[in-house]
Amino acid sequence: MNGPSEELRAEVERRIDSLERELAEADQRLPDISEWVREIEEDVVRLLARVLAECRRDVESDGPQASGGEALGRDGALDRYAAVQAWAALASYVVARVYAPRSPWHHGLATAAKAAVAVLGSITTVLAGPLGPVTAALGAQSFTVGTQFPSAPLTVSLTFAG
């Protein structure tokens, strides 16, 4: 498991920038942009779905280690944890750019986020899979993967005994 590729990160950045420009232009020209907002929302969901698909492919590339079928050493566990955090950060970046309270985007998007939240839920499920072996290898008590839309899109943490 390696985390998102530089190509995917660049694609996400380009697409979000493009959507932001499109929405700003539409906001200036149209008095009611509710239909445009729905189209932008669909584009954002497609982008998050792309992140989900690539994340799933990356997790599955670990084979037996992805499901805990093989023991994971400390270095491997740290690498995998970093990859999980990188996937969470990429999905969070998309959500924060579009939906977070300080986002420059049109406020109508925040009410149309149901589909995006569903994709985030799927990403949390995929990311939870590799964390079991990471937790065991690092001696943590438990892990959590969660979402608090839109303020903390995806969070990943390990809990250690105090």
Cα separation, 120 vs 76, whole angstroms: 26
Q: Is the pLDDT of residue 30 over 60?
A: no
CA 78 from chain center: how many Å?
Answer: 19
pLDDT band, residue 151 (cuts 50/70/90): confident
- At 111-143, the pLDDT tens digits run 557 888 889 999 999 999 999 999 999 999 999
- At 47-106, the pLDDT tens digits run 999 999 999 999 998 866 555 556 788 999 999 999 999 999 999 999 888 776 666 555
- At 51-67, the pLDDT tens digits run 999 999 999 988 665 55
The CA-atom distances, in angstroms, between 134 and each of 72, 79, 122, 144, 152 are 7, 9, 20, 12, 22
- Specify the pTM: 0.85
What per-residue confidence (pLDDT) applies to 147?
85
pLDDT band, residue 12 (cuts 50/70/90): very high
